[in-house]
Amino acid sequence: TLYGLQVNQDPFGLVVYRQRGGQVLLNTTVAPLFFADQFLQISTSLPSRFISGLGEHLTPLVLDTAWTRVTLWNRDMAPVPQVNLYGSHPFYLGMEDGGSAHGVFLLNSNAMDVLLQPSPALTWRTTGGILDFYVFLGPDPKSVVRQYLDVVGFPFMPPYWGLGFHLCRWGYSSTAITRQVVANMTAARFPLDVQWNDLDYTDAKRDFTFNKKSFKDYPEMVQDFHRRGLRYIMIVDPGISSSGPPGTYKPYDEGLKRGVFIRNATGQPLIGKVWPGPTAFPDFTNPETHEWWHEMVKDFHDQVPFDGMWIDMNEPSNFVEGSQDGCPNNSLEQPPYVPGVFGGRLQAGTICASSQQYLSSHYNLHSLYGLTEAIASHDSITPYQVGCGALGLLLPPLPPCTSPAAGAFSVGSMPEALRSPDALCAPSAEVLLFNLFGVPLVGADICGFVGDTSEELCVRWTQLGAFYPFMRNHNDHGARPQEPYAFSPAAQAAMRNALHLRSSLLPFLYTLFHRAHSAGETVARPLFLEFPKDPNTWAVDRQLMWGGGLLVTPVLEAGKTKVSGYFPAGTWYSLAGDSTIHSKGQWILLQAPLDTINVHVRAGHILPLQEPAFSTAESRKKGMALVVALTPDGFARGDLFWDDGESWQTFEKGDYTEILFLATHGAVLSQLLRASAHLDGVLLEAPGCISACTPGGQDTPLGSDTPWAPSWPILTVLTLPSPPQVLRVPVSLPMWEQFVIAWS
C-alpha cells in the first residue's frame, strides 16, 4: 500500500502517513475530538503551510494559515474578503516538501468553520452530519485532483459554442434593445456566440413567463438568433411567485397541488421574498419536484426555444430573513455553535434552517440547494439535447452556487465581480481554484458587474477573460455600458484582438475540456500542477496555464505597460513567434502595452488552431493550423478532439475524431486514433494569421475583404535560438487523413 494508518484508542485519533518517506498527511491526535449533537470538531496537523481550496471565498490561491477562519455556508453575497460566498467546497490540496501533494475532502453539507493555524494545523468545526473524510494520496497534485473527481464526478463536456463569447446585461429591457446589441456587435466586427437576457424578459419577474409588451416577439427573436448561428440563454430563479390569485400562474398552482415546495414548521409552504415578491421555494430533493420542474421547463421551451438556463439565486437567496413569518425558536435556528456566517445567523439572507425538505431539514441540506437544482435542471433539458434542428445542444445550467459534484451537471459562475479604478478584482485565482474543485467551465463577469470600470481596465479584463474557460461580459443595469463596441477605436481593436485570439485557440481549449471530462484533468491550471517540484510556483496566482502547454501572463493593474511573470525552467516561445525565453526558473519582466497580452507556448507542445469567425458555427468550417513548439532536441506533441460540437456523450458513444500530432527529426505527423465524419471538409490550410498574434498587432476585421497578413499560416514551427527560428510551411491537407510534413 501507499499509506500507513495508525489508530490511537485513548485519546482517540488517526494518523495517515506515506509508506515511502513517512510523511504524515493527517494526524488528528494533535487536539481532542468533539462529537456532540450539532457540534463536531476535529483537528489535524499539516505537512506545510501551502494549502489551497476550501471555497468559496475571495482568497489567493494559497490560504493564509495565520489564524484564518474559513466559513462554508452558501450565501448570496457580493464578494468581499473573509465572508462566506455562493458555494461550499470542503476540499483542500496540500503541497509537501519535495513536490508531493495530498488532498482531504470532508463529505458534509452542514454549516462549518475551518480554522487554519500557523503551526501549521487545521481544525474542522461543523454543526452536524458526520465526519466522513476522504484522503487523496496523489502523490502529485494532478493526481490529487483526479482522485477527488473520482469521488465527486468528472466535469461534463460543454458544447463547442459554450466556449465562445457570451454577452449579458441586466437592463436589456426589450427585444428591440437585445436585437440592437447583437446588431452592434456585428457592425463592430466582434465575435459573439451567445446572447443572454437577465430578468428583463419576464412578466413581473416570474419564472417561465415573458413580457408580452416589451418582449412580444421574444420567440421570433430567439429563432432569428438561431438562423444567424447564435445561441440564447435566459435567467431562471428557483423562487416561484406565490401571490397571484389561484389559477393565474401555473408553476405555483401545479407546484402547490403536487407538494413540491419547501415547508415551514407548520407544514405549509415556506414563503419568502425574492424578485417577484412573495415566493415559495421548490424542494429539489423531492423526486416529484424534478417531474414538475421538467414540465415547467418543457412548457416554456415549447414557447421560446432557448439554448441554456442561467439558474441564479439558488443559495437559496431570500430578501427577508428566514421567511415572511419569521422562523421558530428552536435548536436548528439557534444552534449551540454558529459558524462565522455573514449576518451572524444561519437564516440571514436565506430561508429558515428548520424548514423541511423531502430528505431532511434545510439545516442539513442548505449548501446542497444549488446542486440539487442544477441536477433537476440538467435532467429537464436532456430531452432537447439531440435532434432539435437549429437549436442543437442546450448548455447545462449555470448556477452561481456550487458544491462538490457541481461540475458534473453545470457551468460554474464566479461571484458578481466588483469593479475598482485601480485593479481587477477578479484575478485568475478563483478560476484556478474552481478547476481544482472540478468545475472547469468557469469565469468572472468581464469588466465587472458592480460599479464602473475604466476603459483601460476593461481592455485588460477582456484580455484576461479571453483565457477564462467560460467567457462572459455581464453588467448591472445602473452602470455605464461595457459591451466591447462601447469603447474607443483603440480599445475596440485591443478587445477584438483578444477575442480573435481566443476564437483561434478554441480547438485546443475544446480538447482540454475533453480531457477534463474523460480523465479528470484541469483546463485552466495553476503553475504548481505542472511544476510541483518548483516551490516558486506554489503560490503563483496572477498567471494561469491552459493545459500543460500555454502560459498566460496578464496585466491586472491600471497604468502598467510591463508585467512580471514567473517562468519555470525550460524553453518558452511567445505565441506571436517573436521571442524565446530560456528560463532556469525565474521571474521575467515582460513588455505589455495596452494592445498586448503575453501568451507563451511551452516547448514540447503542439497546439491546434482554427481561423476565427463571428461565431463558432462559422469558425468550425474554417481552415486549421498547427503551432509546433520544439524542445532543444526537436520534439513536440499535441492532440485534437473533435466531434459535432453539440451532441451529448459523443465520447461515450465513440462518435468523435481524435488525432495525435508528433514532431521529431525534422517532421511533424498526424496519427488518427479514432475517426468520424465530423472533420470532413476541414483542411490544414489556415488562409492567414490570427491578427492578435501578428508581431506588430495589426487589427484586421472579421468579414473584411482584406486577407490577413500570413505571419503564421498552416504550420508554424518554433525552434531555437532566440528570437526563435520560425518555419512557416504552406500546405493544404485534409485533417481527416493522416499526414507527414518534413522540412530540412
Where residue 80 falls among pLDDT bands split at 50, 70, 90?
confident
pLDDT at 397 over 80: no
The radius of gyration computed from the CA coordinates of the chain, to the nearest angstrom, equals: 26
The C-alpha atoms of residue 346 and residue 110 are separated, in whole angstroms, by 11
- The DSSP H or E segment spanning 9 is strand 3-9
The mean per-residue pLDDT over the stretch 238-256 comes to 97
Q: What is the per-residue pLDDT for 709?
A: 33
Q: In this prediction, what percent of the chain has a pLDDT beyond 70?
A: 89
Instruction: Report the pLDDT value the prediction gives residue 449, as an integer from 0 to 100.
Output: 86
> How far is 355 from 12, CA to CA, in rounded Å?
35
Mean pLDDT over residues 224-228, rounded?
Answer: 97
Q: In what order do the strands lie in the sheet with 12-18?
A: 3-9, 12-18, 24-27
Is-cis flag, bond preceding 120, omega within 30? yes
User: 3-state class of 413 per DSSP?
Assistant: strand
Q: How high is the pLDDT of residue 416?
A: 54
Phi, psi of 664 (to 5 degrees): -165, 150
pLDDT at 485: 98
Report the chain's mean pLDDT, rounded to a whole number: 90
Residue 483 falls in the annotated catalytic set:
no
Query: What mean pLDDT comes out for the span 232-249?
Result: 96
Query: pLDDT for 583-598, tens place per residue?
Result: 999 999 999 999 999 9
E strand or H helix at 476, and its extent? none
Judged against a pLDDT cut of 50, whether residue 444 lies above it is answered with yes
Contact (Cβ atoms closer than 8 angstroms) between residue 250 and residue 303: no
Identify the pLDDT of residue 447: 92
CA–centroid distance for 480 within its chain: 26
Burial level of 76, CB count in 10 A (0-12/13-18/19+)? buried
Of 88-97, 215-224, 381-390, 489-498, the one with minimum mean pLDDT is 381-390
pLDDT tens string 408-434:
666 555 555 555 555 665 457 999 999
Which residue would you say has higher pLDDT here, 576 or 193? 193
- Residues paired with 536 in a beta bridge: none
Each residue of 649-705: pLDDT tens digit? 999 999 999 999 999 988 999 999 999 988 888 888 753 322 222 233 333 333 333
Exposure string (b/e) for 34-50, b if CB count within 10 Å is 16 or more?
Answer: eeeeeebbbbbbbbebb
Question: Could you tell me the pTM of the whole model?
Answer: 0.94
Taking the C-alpha atoms of residue 271 and residue 251, their distance in angstroms, rounded to an integer, is 15
- Contacts of 531 by beta carbon, 8 Å cutoff, 6+ apart: 537, 568, 569
pLDDT band at 387 (very low <50, low <70, confident <90, very high): very low
Task: Return the pLDDT at 398.
Answer: 55
At 713 the pLDDT is 44
Output the nine-digit C-alpha cell for 314: 439558488
Give the whole-number percent of the chain exceeding pLDDT 90.
80
Q: Give the pLDDT of residue 731.
A: 78
Q: 329-338: list long-range contacts, CB under 8 Å, 24+ apart.
A: 330/265, 330/354, 331/38, 332/361, 332/363, 335/38, 335/39, 335/127, 335/363, 336/38, 336/39, 337/38, 337/39, 337/125, 337/127, 338/111, 338/127
Mean pLDDT (whole number) for 74-101 = 92
Give me the catalytic one of 200, 315, 333, 455.
315
Instruction: Indicate the pLDDT class of residue 710, thresholds 50, 70 and 90.
Output: very low
30-44, 295-309, 648-662, 691-705: the lowest-pLDDT one: 691-705
Pairing of strands 240-241, 271-274: unpaired
Confidence label for 742 from pLDDT (cuts 50, 70 and 90): confident
Span 551-559, average pLDDT: 96
Bridge partners of 14? 7
Domains parsed from the chain with CATH numbers: 3-152 (2.60.40.1760)
Question: Given this model, what pLDDT does residue 706 score?
Answer: 30
Q: Does residue 21 register a pLDDT over 90?
A: yes
Alpha helices in 118-270 (DSSP H): 141-152, 175-187, 218-227, 250-258
DSSP alpha helix (H) spans, 606-688: 616-619, 650-653
The active-site residue, picked from 312, 416, 476, 685, is: 312
Return the pLDDT at 671: 96
User: In whole angstroms, what is the distance from residue 128 CA to residue 37 CA?
Assistant: 7
CB count in 10 Å sphere of residue 21: 11
Q: Using pLDDT thresholds of 50, 70 and 90, give the confidence band for residue 732.
A: confident
Q: In the chain, count H helices and then E strands.
A: 13, 41
The neighbouring-strand residues paired with 36 are: 39
Contact between 599 and 574 under an 8 Å Cβ cutoff? The reply is: yes
d(CA 50, CA 95): 6
Q: What confidence tens digit (pLDDT) does each residue in 604-656 have? A: 999 999 999 999 999 999 999 999 999 999 999 999 999 999 998 999 999 99
Query: In the chain, what are the helix, strand and coil shares in percent, each to the nearest 5?
Result: 25, 30, 50
Q: Does 498 have pLDDT greater than 50?
A: yes
Does residue 312 have an active-site annotation? Answer: yes
Return the pLDDT at 730: 75
